[in-house]
Amino acid sequence: MTEVIAAGKPRSRLLRALYFGLGLICVGFAYLSWLPGIPTFDFVILAAFFFSRSSDRFHLWITSHPVFGRVIRGYRTDGLTVRAKIIASVAVIASLGFSVFVLLDNSVVRTLLGLVGLYALWFIWTRKTPAESPAIDARPTGP
């Protein structure tokens, strides 16, 4: 008996289970986003990615969720607004900066975190930005 697997899904059941577990963890963190310092957007996008690699049912659930689905659809169709990019950049810089300068003494780990931060900033700023809304013509129409 051959197993049919959708494109993009790993053949390994273990790897699919790992992706599924990571998806559940990301959803859990997304629900905790009301706590300061825990972002919603990042975890929702990651959960959608992990579920797309592991479970069609959970991928459909998260993409059709009233709140999470709107975030995912907006990201997939429009990209990130400049405001979202600025907020994400400040969050990355603040969290990694705090870790690098307050929590860590190891210069190798500091360097690695700095590189991760640079990659995160590059990733954020290379995402598509939605086009500005068209200018509204203020001239009256009609006779």
The last residue of a domain, from among 78, 102, 117? 78
Residues 60-98 pLDDT 10s: 999 999 988 888 888 888 888 888 888 888 888 888 888
- Does residue 136 carry a pLDDT above 50? no
- One domain for residues 20 and 56: yes
- Does residue 138 carry a pLDDT above 50? no
Count of structural domains, the chain: 2
- One domain for residues 16 and 74: yes
Q: What is the pLDDT of residue 4?
A: 41
The predicted model scores a pTM of 0.61
Q: What is the pLDDT of residue 54?
A: 93
- One domain for residues 106 and 70: no
- One domain for residues 39 and 87: no
34 domain-assigned? yes
Residues 5-63 pLDDT 10s: 455 777 888 999 999 999 999 898 888 876 666 667 778 888 999 999 999 999 999 99
User: What 3 state SS string does the chain have?
Assistant: CCCCCCCCCCCCHHHHHHHHHHHHHHHHHHHCCCCCCCCCHHHHHHHHHHHHHHCHHHHHHHHHCCCHHHHHHHHHHCCCCHHHHHHHHHHHHHHHHHHHHHHCCCHHHHHHHHHHHHHHHHHHHCCCCCCCCCCCCCCCCCC
- One domain for residues 30 and 73: yes
Can you give the residue range of the structural domain that contains 22? 11-78
